[in-house]
Chain A
Amino acid sequence: MIDDRTLLKTLHADRARPDDLALARARARLMARAQQSPGRAWWTGGPRLAVAAVATAGLVGGLVLVQTFTPSGASASAAEVLDRAAAAAGRQAPAPLPGPGQYLYVHDLNAQIEFVEGEAVDPGRLCFGAYESWTPADSATPARIHRADGVTPSSARSPGGLVRDPECRFDEFTVDGAGIDDGIVIDAGEPVVLPGGEAGGSWQQPDPSFVAALPTDPEALYQRARADAVELEYEQVDEGTLTLLTDAAISGSPHLTPALRAALFRAIAFVPGVELGGTVSTLWGDQGQVVSRVEPTRGIRTEIIFDPAGGDLLGSRDVAVDGGSGLPAGVVFHEQARRSGVVGAVGERPAG
């Protein structure tokens, strides 16, 4: 009989073998940083390490140089729609910030095809998940998340009522023991992280300090997102750049100024391969204009749904295209839409 630890060690054992060259490079980076840090003189191994550090710096520099801006960007029609949406976004009033005793409310609705062992159970069935979070204005008050998985709208495209769907067999969701549909209390001062998001200070959940560091010039913002996509090791940098810009725009963060929201929309126009799509309905039932990009290496078309007249990003979805994804072309296998607002209490929802 074997134990669970032994069982798991059979997985990816080949990857775990030491790579002396990789470790030497990492050590050289560390030692180069240590050498710059205040402290006493370099230690006796210094000269040999310094050579390695120089070599590594050259390698890193070479990699960075490869990631230069490609000015192809979006098609003219897509750029026009994005510019129109940006202009409308720039005219919006700043989003209200929660005041004392108030909460930032975020309602995230998503749907995806269920996969079991890498195979789609039913390409025609989207299983829904709904998340609601209430994040207090002050860090001394606990936050709360509600989540429901494996559900379906009670009527098509009507998320007002979600019912359990026995055909959607998502694993039970838990956070530290709290189960499905339970209200999950987040300790005071801890970040509320919705699925697909990161803690504050990220493209997914922009906080004041993160926002303050973002440029409002669209091309500079695009370059910043692209650099982050490289740093975050997205396999396809263009796809990663689009993801980060979209994540920020749909985050619901009240810290995004109208000017920055406009810049995010215009920055998307710098991503190579962005094209104009048709008109679709979001999970909330809103009609929107699609701006899309196909990632040929993965057989996926990412569709971002805008309200160009209102200046809003309504949602996004992923669609299979021929080859790559393993799904029939045209199948929508993931959708997301998010709404946010300021409310006065946990459990309260914005009107409308």
Chain B
Amino acid sequence: VTTTEATPDPAATAAGDSDADWLTRSCSDPPSFGVLFDRHAADVRGYLARRVGADLADDLVGQVFLVAFESRHRYEPCRAAVRPWLFGIATNLVRRHRRVEARGLAATARLDPRPSSVSDPTEVVAGQVDAAASVQEIAAALAGMSRGVRDALLLYAWADLGYDEIAAALGIPVGTVRSRLHSARARLRPLLDRTTTQGEK
């Protein structure tokens, strides 16, 4: 992560020092927590921005790390790695703004159907996706999911967390993660099937 205002101590990002090491160190040396920000803030902000929009994400990413900093003494490395812990905090904050998220999904779902100009043009499969599943349809599918299912799915898809990490982030059994993702995939299946069909033509 490159910031315009601060450059972390190069020693602070030395390879071999785990997130948990830096978190422990920050208990006696609070500014050490900045290393965790440098390692994860961009990803956390990206996840938040997709969920609630860039403007709100800019504020929430700061809150995520302030909450994490204030609760670092209670962090239990045996229960979760630092990354899913941070995404769990981020997801909790999103819940306080779920009306913003719901309105955003509804607004996207109402967009006039068109080639997905809002998708990343560098995404190699974008054209394939555009051909079958529009962003409107994806947003509508997400809007129709329960909060718990959507949280699990978006931690999987947008935060790139594994099942165990999602379970740790949400504080739920991994079996529940599986059932929630199963439910989410059932909702997405028609979109994926159409994409497959289009791609095979």
Which residues of chain B (97-151) have a CB below 8 Å from chain A? 97, 100, 106-110, 116, 118-120, 123, 125-126, 128-130, 133, 135-140, 142, 144-146, 148-149
Q: Is the CB of B110 within 8 A of A117?
A: yes
Q: A28-B6, A171-B144 are in contact. Are A14 and B33 (CB under 8 A)?
A: no
Choose among B69, B106, B109, B196 the residue that contacts A1 (Cβ–Cβ < 8 A). Answer: B196
Q: How far is the CB of B45 from chain A (nearest CB, A)?
A: 6
0 or 1 for each of A1-19: is its CB under 8 Å from B? (1 = yes): 1111111111111111111
Taking the complex as formed, is B7 at the interface, i.e. its CB lies under 8 A from any CB of chain A? yes
Which residues of chain B (21-56) have a CB below 8 Å from chain A? 26, 28-34, 37-38, 41-42, 45-47, 49-50, 53-54, 56
- Closest residue on chain B to residue A32 by CB atoms: B66
Q: Is the CB of B6 within 8 A of A45?
A: yes
Query: CA A117 – CA B119 in complex, angstroms?
Result: 19
- Closest residue on chain A to residue B4 by CB atoms: A24
Q: Is the CB of A28 within 8 A of B5?
A: yes
Choose among A13, A18, A44, A173 the residue that contacts B1 (Cβ–Cβ < 8 A). Answer: A18
Q: Is the CB of A117 within 8 A of B136?
A: yes
Chain B contact-residue range equals 35 or more
Determine the chain B residues whose CB is within 8 A of the CB of A9 once the complex forms: 120, 123, 157-158
Query: CA A246 – CA B159 in complex, angstroms?
Result: 35
Query: CA A117 – CA B139 in complex, angstroms?
Result: 8
Choose among A10, A34, A118 the residue that contacts B109 (Cβ–Cβ < 8 A). Answer: A118
Q: How far is the CB of A12 from chain B (nearest CB, A)?
A: 4
Q: Is the CB of B5 within 8 A of A24?
A: yes
Query: CA A46 – CA B5 in complex, angstroms?
Result: 11
0 or 1 for each of A26-39: is its CB under 8 Å from B? (1 = yes): 11111101110111
Q: Is the CB of B34 within 8 A of A30?
A: yes
Taking the complex as formed, is B191 at the interface, i.e. its CB lies under 8 A from any CB of chain A? yes
Query: CA A116 – CA B9 in complex, angstroms?
Result: 51
Taking the complex as formed, is B154 at the interface, i.e. its CB lies under 8 A from any CB of chain A? yes
Q: How far is the CB of B25 from chain A (nearest CB, A)?
A: 10
Determine the chain A residues whose CB is within 8 A of the CB of B146 once the complex forms: 171, 173-175
Q: A26-B65, A28-B6 are in contact. Are A175 and B148 (CB under 8 A)?
A: yes
Query: CA A41 – CA B32 in complex, angstroms?
Result: 11
Determine the chain A residues whose CB is within 8 A of the CB of B156 once the complex forms: 5
Q: Is the CB of B58 within 8 A of A25?
A: yes
Q: Is the CB of B46 within 8 A of A29?
A: no
Q: Is the CB of B54 within 8 A of A30?
A: no
Taking the complex as formed, is A210 at the interface, i.e. its CB lies under 8 A from any CB of chain B? no
Query: CA A44 – CA B8 in complex, angstroms?
Result: 9
Choose among A14, A177, A235 the residue that contacts B179 (Cβ–Cβ < 8 A). Answer: A177
Q: A1-B195, A10-B123, A23-B42 are in contact. Are A171 and B6 (CB under 8 A)?
A: no
Residues of B within 8 A of A (CB): 1-9, 12, 26, 28-34, 37-38, 41-42, 45-47, 49-50, 53-54, 56-59, 61-62, 65-66, 69-70, 95-97, 100, 106-110, 116, 118-120, 123, 125-126, 128-130, 133, 135-140, 142, 144-146, 148-149, 153-154, 156-158, 160, 172, 176, 179, 183-185, 188, 191-192, 195-196, 199-200
In the assembled complex, 19 residue pairs joining A and B whose CB atoms fall closer than 8 Å, in A order, are A2-B125, A2-B196, A2-B199, A3-B192, A11-B119, A16-B49, A23-B42, A23-B45, A27-B37, A30-B66, A30-B69, A31-B31, A31-B34, A42-B31, A117-B109, A175-B146, A198-B96, A233-B56, A233-B100
Instruction: Return the 10 tightest CB-CB contacts between A and B, nearest first.
Output: A13-B120, A118-B110, A26-B62, A52-B5, A16-B46, A8-B157, A22-B58, A37-B30, A24-B5, A34-B30
